[in-house]
């Protein structure tokens, strides 16, 4: 079943704020929270992440009906990519080197910002690219 495109964009907006605060404060705890949010989204889909739940329960009822939908697999893959970057960032912030935490968090922030501000999901595009290559190889 397709999902409302506004949900992942809302999640990306919240993620953008969280990751910006991580870069400003260097908080490994906050990055650990974001890593967990990515993990839940990767495991259960965008709707199972904390931000997806917040969108579904608080934001969506205040909006009109959705006019655009998308397949759930690309955003789920994007959550997995975000999880990878957040996990690497968490290693950098907790064990070192610190630049690794900054770089990985910055990459995740850039991707989240692109989705939140422009609706361009890098992880979704990567999913579609991998799928095209896989289909051609078969």
pLDDT tens track for 29-65: 999 999 999 999 999 998 889 999 999 999 999 999 9
At 3, give phi and psi (nearest 5°).
-115, 155
Q: Where are the domains of the chain?
A: 3-137
pLDDT tens track for 10-20: 999 999 999 99
Collapsing DSSP to helix, strand or coil, 3 comes out as strand
For the question of whether the overall pTM of this predicted structure is more than 0.85, the answer is: yes
Q: How many CB atoms lie within 10 A of CB 22?
A: 27
């Amino acid at each position: 079943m397709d999902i409302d495109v506004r949900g992942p964009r809302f999640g990306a907006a919240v993620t953008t704020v969280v990751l910006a605060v991580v870069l400003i404060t260097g908080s490994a705890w906050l990055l650990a929270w974001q890593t967990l949010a990515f993990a839940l989204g990767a495991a259960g889909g965008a709707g199972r992440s904390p931000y997806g739940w917040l969108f579904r329960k608080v934001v969506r009822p205040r909006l009109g009906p959705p006019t655009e939908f998308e397949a759930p697999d690309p955003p789920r893959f994007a959550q997995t990519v975000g999880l990878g970057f957040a996990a690497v960032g968490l290693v950098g912030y907790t064990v070192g080197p610190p630049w690794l935490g900054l770089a990985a968090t910055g990459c995740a922030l850039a991707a989240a910002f692109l989705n939140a501000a422009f609706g361009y999901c890098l992880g979704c595009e990567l999913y579609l690219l991998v799928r095209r290559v896989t289909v051609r190889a078969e």
